[in-house]
Amino acid sequence: MQRFSQNSKTKKPGQQPLRIIRLQINLFNPTTPLLFDIMKSLILAAGEGLRLRPITETIPKVMIPLAGTPIIEYVVNALVKNGITDISIVVGYKKEAVMDHFGDGARFGAKISYVFQERQLGTAHALLVSQSALEGESEFLVLGGDNVIFAETLYSLLESSCHAPALLAKNEPHNVSQYGAVTLKGKNLVEKLDEKPRNSDGALISLGIYKFNGSVFDVAKRCVGRGELTIPHIIRELTTQKFGVRAVVTDGAWMDVVYPWDMLKVNGELMSSLLGSTAGTIEEGVVIKGNVEIGRGSTIRSGSYIVGPVRIGAGCDIGPCAYVSQSTLIGDNAAIGPFSCIKNSLVGSDSKIGSGCRISDSIISQGAAIGSNSSNTSGPCRIEVGNTYEKAELFGFLAGEDVVIGDGVVAREGTILGRGCNVAPLKVIQGTIPSNARVI
């Protein structure tokens, strides 16, 4: 890495000070150097993810693994691949999970520091408490840690000629009502950002990825003082100022997980690019088709049939005569019993699924135990989330951490079992069952 700047003695009267720029190898086209102003980034990762309960009762949303990688790690990798290695992460809820995973960042090719947001009051407040971590930076990135992105997505903003303040947007009209509408005036000037638009015709969605400079902290202070606690509040005030806010439109990948069933969809998209590898023991008579990754110390027992994309973690015991397929992710030290069938599901670490089970389109959290001959139905359903009901196009059931389900249980589509629930054998369950409940 090299820095270039012109000696201040050569600056002409009235000339704007020259910015320090950085020469960085372009990972997407190594023959072309990148010239980026951005030296530092701030990842917002303090929230819980209430709509993902009971999964987020024990880990923050940013640490949910998809295709075997925590969501926030995709964000860190995207920054590092663009040469932005000085990263601050705002942590709060279950902060130890994030800090233990990343440490000082050296393992990920980054230098990572942490900002503590003791009370999760909103993203504008998170930005304000991070001011000292960003002092001295002419421009910096601010982005959420709970969306899956790739290097190409950030590159769209970094290589654009738009100076701060700027935001990254995407043309996805069917999602505007869920993420907020960005309306432009002219080519790229943001006219307004509406979080709950009634009419979204022609609008873009905001990806929650921003380029700011130091002047944003004065605006953040005013917004927080008025009780306006999110970055969209900051953007709305900035649009009224002289230079406004510019939008950069990207066609790069951006995936959001709002509800548990979104985890299955995003995991499936990520698994489509899985490269197969085997580090475990494959017994005689096993059939493996497609891209299948098998972790070290795992055993796939005779007669089992695995159709990729499938990822099986380390230390797992699968079969004999088990069937696993369709973007299934199995965590470390999990066990799938004989003659069980697992399709399009997330099976957490240290979980156990007995013999003869039929599990599809479902999430089995860490440490859960499913008795033999249990099964689920799946399909479109409406699921209680907080005080509302949300529609899932396709979902089976969710078993929270350390759930115990007896033999012969049937879970109807849309069933949510909270952490630590215990279900007696031969029951038919449906609806939302709170944590630590017993079904007898």
Is pLDDT of 19 > 90?
A: no
- Dump pLDDT digits (tens) for 196-234: 666 655 578 888 899 988 888 989 999 998 888 888 889
Domain that holds residue 244: 15-258
Q: What is the pLDDT of residues 305-318, one digit of tens each?
A: 999 999 999 999 99
Q: Are 250 and 211 in the same domain?
A: yes
pLDDT of 36 reads 54
Q: Please indicate, yes or no, whether the overall pTM of this predicted structure exceeds 0.95.
A: no
Q: Has residue 140 been placed in a domain? A: yes
Does residue 188 sit in the same domain as residue 297? no
Q: Do 306 and 242 share a structural domain?
A: no
DSSP one-letter code for 358: E
User: What percent of the chain has pLDDT above 70?
Assistant: 88
Band of the pLDDT at 1, cuts 50, 70, 90? very low
pLDDT tens-digit profile of 343-374?
999 999 999 999 999 999 999 999 999 999 99
Q: What is the pLDDT of residue 177?
A: 60
Q: Do residues 379 and 294 both lie within one domain?
A: yes
Token duo for residue 244: 């406004």
pLDDT > 90: percent of the chain:
57
pLDDT at 16: 38
pLDDT at 5: 33
How confident is residue 178, by pLDDT bands cut at 50, 70 and 90? low
306 and 199 fall within a common domain? no
**Among 11-25, 30-44, 51-65, 401-415, where is mean pLDDT lowest?**
11-25
Rounded CA-CA distance 191/116 in Å is: 33
3-state secondary structure of 399: strand
The domain spanning residue 279 has which CATH number?
A: 2.160.10.10
Sign of the CA dihedral 166, 168, 172, 174? Answer: negative
Q: What are the two backbone dihedrals, phi and then psi, of residue 184, each rounded to the nearest 5 degrees?
A: -100, 150
Asked whether residue 30 carries a pLDDT value surpassing 50, the answer given is no
Q: Is residue 36 part of a domain?
A: yes
Q: 101 lies in a domain?
A: yes
Angle subtended at Cα 397 by Cα 393 and Cα 403, rounded to the nearest 5 degrees: 160
Q: Which two tokens stand for residue 171?
A: 């043309």
Kindly state whether residue 178 falls inside one of the protein's structural domains: yes
The H or E element containing residue 264 is helix 260-271
DSSP 116: E
Q: Give the CATH number, domain containing residue 219.
A: 3.90.550.10
On whether the CB atoms of residues 54 and 385 are closer than 8 A, the answer is no
Whether residue 73 sits in one domain with residue 188: yes
Is residue 299 domain-shared with residue 187, that is, in the same domain? no
In a domain, 6, yes or no: no
- Tell me which of 158 and 197 has the higher pLDDT: 158
What is the reported pLDDT for 404? 97
Is the preceding peptide bond at 165 cis, omega within 30 degrees of 0? yes
Mean pLDDT of 106-133: 91
Indicate if the pLDDT at residue 273 is higher than 80: yes
Please give the backbone phi and psi of residue 230, each rounded to the nearest 5 degrees, phi first. Answer: -115, 160
Domain count, the chain: 2
The domain boundary residue, chosen from 258, 288, 303: 258
Does 29 have pLDDT greater than 70?
no
Which pLDDT score is estimated for 7? Answer: 36
Question: Can you give the pLDDT at residue 200?
Answer: 57
Domain for residue 7, yes or no? Answer: no
**90-94, 251-255, 294-298, 325-329: the lowest-pLDDT one:** 251-255
Distance between CA atoms of residues 257 and 108, nearest Å: 23
Based on the domain organization, do 91 and 70 belong to the same domain?
yes
| Residue 97 pLDDT exceeds 90 | yes
Q: Is residue 10 part of a domain?
A: no
Residue ending a domain, among 235, 258, 281, is: 258
Count helices and strands in the chain by DSSP H and E runs: 9, 44
- Statement to judge: residues 284 and 244 lie in one domain: no
Average confidence score pLDDT of the chain: 86
Residue 83 placed within a domain: yes
Q: Which of 239, 258, 277 is the last residue of a domain?
A: 258
Q: Are residues 424 and 307 in the same domain?
A: yes
